[in-house]
Amino acid sequence: MSKIKPSKGAPFARIMGVGGYRPTRVVPNEVILEKIDSSDEWIRSRSGISTRHWASDEETVTAMSVEAAGKAIADAGLTPEQIGGVIVSTVSHFKQTPAVATEIADKIGAVKPAAFDISAGCAGFGYGLTLAKGMIVEGSAEYVLVIGVERLSDLTDLEDRATAFLFGDGAGAVVVGPADEPGIARTVWGSEGDKSETIKQTVPWTQYDSSGKFPAITQEGQAVFRWAVFEMAKVAQQALDAAGISADDLDVFIPHQANMRIIDSMVKTLKLPEHVTVARDVETTGNTSAASIPLAMERLLATGQAKSGDTALVIGFGAGLVYAATVVTLP
Residues with a known catalytic role: 122, 256, 287
Evaluate whether 146 touches 14 at the Cβ level (below 8 Å): no
Evaluate whether 22 touches 187 at the Cβ level (below 8 Å): no
Number of helices followed by number of strands (H, E) in the chain: 11, 14
